[in-house]
Structure 1
Amino acid sequence: PIGGTTKLGTKVNPQMEACTGIPLYDGQPVEVGPRARLAVFKGYDEKGTVGQNIAREMEYTDCFYEMMDCIDALNPAGKVVADFIPDGDGSLGWASNEAPRGTDVHIARVKDWKVQYFSMLVPTT
């Protein structure tokens, strides 16, 4: 785990941790979110609460410029509704979204316009 208190290879009991949703990789708790992303992709090594907040601030500028690009690409005269919305065939579908605290994954099964199953995998609860 990056910046965690558990040494790599140590077996832990996630059920005994303070929160109900703990990100695990290969059975071990891992850090997710901006500090973890910057540590992996940009060599960021600041730890603790201050390091977490600095990492968030560093990502805000990237997000801001990406939002500006999206606004520039926006066509306000374009369509607002899709030509075809499927009614669902009962197969499992998923979507992923990168959020400030880590990646959110939404899983759903829809058949004949009815939700049969829905679950969210979130980094924190």
Structure 2
Amino acid sequence: MEACTGVPLYDGQPVEVGPRARQVRFKNYDEKGAMGLQIARQMELPGTAYGIIEALDALNTSGSVLADDIPQGDGSLGWAANEAPRGTDVHLARVKDGRVQYFSMLVPTTWNFPTCSRALTGAPWRLAEVIVRAYDPCVSCATHMLVVDEDKRLVAQKLIQ
């Protein structure tokens, strides 16, 4: 099974982003599979809760909500990245004279499709929906599943109503 979208690469390789990737990188975590991903997600909850409290404490509620000067853009490509709960989120934009000329997003789901695809390879088809949802793609609630055999005959399907 292959990813059904363009795949962003790092050093020529697909990478996983999100809770397990962060735990592997910063906490020497080595659990694999859908269950390992769920455990990593739970490991992050206490730190996330404390981070929210710190952010709220640092919030200046008397400050300005909007910038006084909003740049109209000169046509240069700009980008921004943040680490969201699902993983790394990158946005690229080109704005000129107050109009968007180009916009693209590399959302965590896009980064993680190859990892999800590997997790599905060889798994019983009846677990496919559970495995896909474990990777928390932003499209999981709108995904239809078709299982075909080697002769391209339909074996099973699940259509989201």
TM-score if structure 1 supplies the norm length? 0.79
Residues 26, 50 of structure 1: alpha-carbon distance in 2 compared, 3 angstrom cutoff = same
CA contact (8 A) 1:23 1:31 kept: no
The yes-or-no answer on 1:62 pairing with 2:47 is yes
CA contact (8 A) 1:93 1:108 kept: yes
Q: What amino acid maps onto 1:60 in structure 2?
A: L
The yes-or-no answer on 1:114 pairing with 2:114 is no
Q: Pairwise CA RMSD of aligned residues? A: 1.6
Aligned-residue sequence identity (percent) comes to 72
Residues 23, 37 of structure 1: alpha-carbon distance in 2 compared, 3 angstrom cutoff = farther
Deviations 1:35-94 (A, max 9, x none): 011112110111111110111111222221111111001122221111211111111101
Runs of 4+ in 1 over 4 A off after TM superposition: none
Distance in 2 between the 1:88 and 1:98 partners?
25
Distance in 2 between the 1:81 and 1:20 partners?
36
* Distance apart, 1:23 and its partner CA: 4.2
Distance in 2 between the 1:67 and 1:103 partners?
18
Question: What is the aligned partner in structure 2 of residue 6 from structure 1?
Answer: none
Unaligned residue ranges in structure 2 (runs of 5+):
111-161
The yes-or-no answer on 1:26 pairing with 2:23 is no
Match of 2:72 among 70, 87, 98: 87
Unaligned residue ranges in structure 1 (runs of 5+):
1-15
TM-score if structure 2 supplies the norm length? 0.62
Distance in 2 between the 1:70 and 1:123 partners?
23
Count the aligned residue pairs: 110
